[in-house]
Amino acid sequence: MTDAALPTARPSRASLSPRLVGFATVIGALLAAEGLVQLGFVNRFIVPPPSEVIDAFRRIVTEEHVFRRFLATAAECLVAGVLLTVIGVGAGVLINRFKLLQQAIETWVASVAAAPLVIMYPLFLVVFGRNALTIVMMGFISGLPPTILKTIEGISGTRQVLVNVGKSFNLSATQQFWKILFPAALPTIFVGVRLGLIFALINIVGTEFLINYGGLGALITDLAERYDLAGTYAAICFVILVSVVFFLALEQAEKWLRPAD
Amino acid sequence: MAETGRLRQPAPPAPLVGPVALLRIAIVLALLALWEFLAHSGWLYRDVVPSLLSIGVAIVDLLSHTAYYYNLGVTAAEIAMALLIGGTSGLVVGLVLGGSGFLSKAFEPYLYYLGPTPKIIFLPIAIMWFGVETPSKIALGTFSCFFPIALSVAAGMRLIDRVLVRVGQSFRASTLQMVFKIYLPAMRHPIINGLRLGFGFALIGTLLAETRLSNKGIGFLIMQADATFDMPRMYAMLIVLFVLAIGANALIGRLGGLDSIKRT
């Protein structure tokens, strides 16, 4: 064996898959938590052992109708998403169409994006009542500013050469919009819709949790109020899982719209 | 000469109020008029849309009571504490992940995908671990602001000009010297940006936790107004809160020199 072969024979740190190390660390942390709880170092009435949480998954699926609740949350997200796409993108197009209006209110929209809109939920409760409409409106309102801002950015950022091509073909304003501006801005508009949907999901689940109504958020409140700790942890894990899958799906859709990236 | 003479002609005076400002004033006035019309129309339940006068009176009343400032102080202290703990831990984690490609690939996806999850759902755990008092609000604020700060710092660390790092290494700077003399100054903008985002998330996390279970703080006051159906007071609190939040956000950006990025 030559000296040169030695480094390849020994598994180096770089040859370990980082993803594998990350996953192994998470599993290790869960095993450590299990051991600490089982040995009594951590109070099991505060932190349930991970094995109980895994077992509780079965319970929340069979007894708590988690999929029905998931569908309720998904339906709220869908309605908020449709509203965001129609009204948010429409408002962005309209604001961009009138430059004076854009100069006047674009900074306002950006300021609203920095405001803690979700804290308005008690007001929405009074206005719309304790029902799905309040939850949908909370999701819609919180996702509106990024959708509008990104739509404006996308249309404003259309390359001048494309606009000039449209002009050289004597396209009408409507044709110019549908054939040049909108297709060119679509990837950026989708970034806005994606951000809007993420904000909407966060606020929809958050509002469900806070007003104890609807789908997955309300499930966590139900279980926490029953002091079903393992179930609460399992439901939280389920919501995280749903959020991650939702996030990944939107990311894939964005990649599909931006093949060059 | 004729050219010079033309140059000496005084420029036409600029209008006192430009068209943008005029349009803004018109929009504000139209919205206020619409609001007042709705308040008196009887189309909505009584007091759901209170008159502008009653909201104005409620704002004055709110700002003239010391109890409001006490509760504002409680919320501000909780947010400051959350930002301190979440910001420091986010900074350290961001520096570690940004400085190592291996660790970044191993652990950053977890932060990246956990970042956009709704943090308020962790409130039952926070209450279980830290109790119903202030620490659980701080914990939720900390957890909320940790992710954007850590991700922003890690991304900023990867964008540092390699020349600066080599300069530090050529001076045989220690790890601490590298952090304080090279990395942190070079990452000022991403850190401030992360802090801005983190502030927003900490604010939301803390306020929502207060609305859910608390006996002090702005979130508690909002829920109190909701419980007593004191709508002018609720609107007043939301308006003051939004003004403070937007102002604080802008202040963090200005102090960190984020406005200078746009000019360069």
Q: Where are the domains of chain A?
A: 18-47, 62-257
Distance (Å, whole) CA A180 – CA A184: 6
A240/B124 Cβ within 8 A = no
Question: Cβ of B135 under 8 Å from any chain A Cβ?
Answer: no
Question: Cβ of B124 under 8 Å from any chain A Cβ?
Answer: yes
Which pLDDT score, from 0 to 100, does residue B76 have? 94
Q: Which of B25, B35, B45, B117 to mutate to probe the A interface, most A CBs <10 Å?
A: B117
Write the residue in A21, A205, A248 that is nearest to B118 by C-beta: A205
Shortest Cα distance, chain A CAs vs residue B141, angstroms: 13
Write the residue in B106, B120, B226 that is nearest to A209 by C-beta: B120
Percent of chain B at pLDDT above 70? 91
Question: What value does the mean pLDDT take over residues A68-75?
Answer: 91
Q: What is the pLDDT of residues B248-262, one digit of tens each?
A: 888 887 776 655 554
Which pLDDT score, from 0 to 100, does residue B4 have? 52
Q: What is the DSSP string of B130-161?
A: H-SSHHHHHHHHHHHHHHHHHHHHHHHHHTS-
Written as six digits, the tokens of A171 are 């396209």
Q: What is the pLDDT of residues B71-120, one digit of tens each?
A: 999 999 999 999 999 999 999 999 899 888 889 999 998 988 888 888 89
Whether pLDDT at A136 is above 90: yes
Q: A3 pLDDT band (50/70/90 cuts)?
A: very low
Write the residue in A46, A232, A240 that is nearest to B129 by C-beta: A46
Question: What value does the mean pLDDT take over residues B177-188?
Answer: 85
Distance (Å, whole) CA A155 – CA B182: 39
* Chain B residues with beta carbon closer than 8 angstroms to that of A53: none
B117/A239 Cβ within 8 A = yes
Q: What is the pLDDT of residues A99-135, one digit of tens each?
A: 888 888 888 888 888 788 888 888 888 888 889 999 9
Whether ipTM tops 0.85, in short, is no
Tracing tokens 């894990």 back to the chain, one arrives at A237
Written as six digits, the tokens of B135 are 């620490």
Going by C-alpha positions, the residue among B86, B242, B194 that lies closest to residue A118 is: B242
Which pLDDT score, from 0 to 100, does residue A5 have? 39
Q: How many CB pairs under 8 A join A and B?
A: 131
Whether pLDDT at B8 is above 80: no
Q: Which of A42, A69, A106, A119 to mutate to probe the B interface, most B CBs <10 Å?
A: A119
Whether pLDDT at B1 is above 80: no
* Chain B residues with beta carbon closer than 8 angstroms to that of A224: 124
Question: Cβ of B109 under 8 Å from any chain A Cβ?
Answer: yes
CATH topology of domain A62-257: MetI-like fold (1.10.3720)
The residue ranges of every structural domain in chain B are 60-263
Residue B259, helix vs strand vs coil? helix
* Chain A residues with beta carbon closer than 8 angstroms to that of B238: 119-120, 123
Written as six digits, the tokens of A52 are 């109980």
* Chain B residues with beta carbon closer than 8 angstroms to that of A232: 124-125
Q: A11 pLDDT band (50/70/90 cuts)?
A: very low
Question: Cβ of B200 under 8 Å from any chain A Cβ?
Answer: yes
The reported pTM is 0.82
Which pLDDT score, from 0 to 100, does residue B257 have? 63
DSSP state of B173: -
* Chain B residues with beta carbon closer than 8 angstroms to that of A121: 211
Mean pLDDT of chain B: 86
Q: A204 pLDDT band (50/70/90 cuts)?
A: very high
Distance (Å, whole) CA B76 – CA A21: 39
Q: Which long-range contacts (CB under 8 A, 24 or more apart) does B101-104 make?
A: B101/A18, B102/A13, B102/A14, B102/A18, B102/A21, B103/A18, B104/A18, B104/B154, B104/B158
Going by C-alpha positions, the residue among B117, B79, B93, B82 that lies closest to residue B191 is: B93
- Which of A225-229, B12-16, B112-116 shows the lowest per-residue confidence on average (mean pLDDT)? B12-16
Whether pLDDT at A176 is above 50: yes
Q: What is the DSSP string of A98-151?
A: SHHHHHHHHHHHHHHHTS-GGGGHHHHHHHH-SSHHHHHHHHHHHHHHHHHHHH
Which pLDDT score, from 0 to 100, does residue A213 have? 87
Which pLDDT score, from 0 to 100, does residue B218 have? 92
Q: What's domain B60-263's architecture?
A: Orthogonal Bundle (1.10)
Backbone dihedral region for residue A95 (phi beyond 0: left; psi -120 to 50: alpha; all else: beta)? alpha
Question: What value does the mean pLDDT take over residues A46-66?
Answer: 89
Whether pLDDT at A156 is above 70: yes
Distance (Å, whole) CA A194 – CA A250: 6
Question: Cβ of B138 under 8 Å from any chain A Cβ?
Answer: no
Which pLDDT score, from 0 to 100, does residue B6 have? 56
Question: Cβ of B246 under 8 Å from any chain A Cβ?
Answer: yes
Which pLDDT score, from 0 to 100, does residue B68 have? 92
- B10 — phi, psi (to 5°)? -65, 140
Going by C-alpha positions, the residue among B227, B125, B189, B158 that lies closest to residue A240 is: B125
